[in-house]
């Protein structure tokens, strides 16, 4: 049983997930972000989680995750998020996320890819890459 929701039953250990379970998890995470429920989000990760979030240095454990998400919550207001399951292989889920929010009075948008490795119904490894831009601004990446 996942800590994220007592009503949701997810695979134990590193068992394979179904598409229905993965989509249920995505809806739960969206809801937690919309409610700004930091503790529910953090408790959806294993105690020894590994977080590789964009350009941020790798972090380990719930305490480090709480600091990362807490800093985001302090800056971002009116956060709206949509996650789409892109791939599922065993206990590894890949999703595309798109979001909008206010940051220091500026309307922002973001889009990214996340890969979650699950254990005991929780996220054990979070790998995320994304792009952010000001609403109405140019969407561009550095030239390679």
CATH match for 19-134 among 2.130.10.30, 3.30.10.20, 3.10.450.50, 3.40.50.2300? 3.10.450.50
Domain extent listing, the chain: 19-134
Concatenating the DSSP letter of every residue in 61-106 gives HHHHHHHHHHHHHHHEEEEEEEEEEEEEETTEEEEEEEEEEEETTE
Q: What is the pLDDT of residues 63-107, one digit of tens each?
A: 999 999 999 999 999 999 999 999 999 999 999 999 999 998 899
Counting beta carbons within 10 angstroms of the beta carbon of residue 114, is it exposed (0 to 12), middle (13 to 18) or buried (19 or more)?
buried
How far from the centroid of its chain's Cα atoms is residue 120's Cα? 17
- Token pair for residue 33? 């972000």
pLDDT above 80 (res 117): yes
CA 117 – CA 94 distance, rounded (Å)? 9
């Amino acid at each position: 049983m996942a800590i994220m929701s007592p009503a949701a039953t997810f695979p134990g250990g590193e068992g394979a997930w179904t598409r229905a379970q993965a989509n249920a998890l995505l809806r739960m995470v969206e809801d937690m972000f919309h409610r700004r429920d930091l503790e529910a989000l953090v408790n959806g990760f294993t105690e020894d989680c590994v977080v590789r979030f964009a350009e941020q240095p790798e972090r380990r454990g719930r305490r480090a995750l709480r600091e990362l998400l807490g800093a985001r919550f302090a800056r971002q207001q009116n956060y709206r998020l949509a996650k789409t399951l892109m791939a599922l292989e065993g206990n590894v889920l890949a999703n595309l996320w798109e979001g909008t929010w206010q940051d220091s009075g500026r309307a922002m948008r973001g889009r990214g890819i996340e890969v979650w490795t699950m254990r005991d119904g929780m996220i054990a490894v979070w790998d995320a890459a994304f792009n952010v831009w000001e609403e109405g601004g140019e969407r561009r990446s550095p030239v390679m």
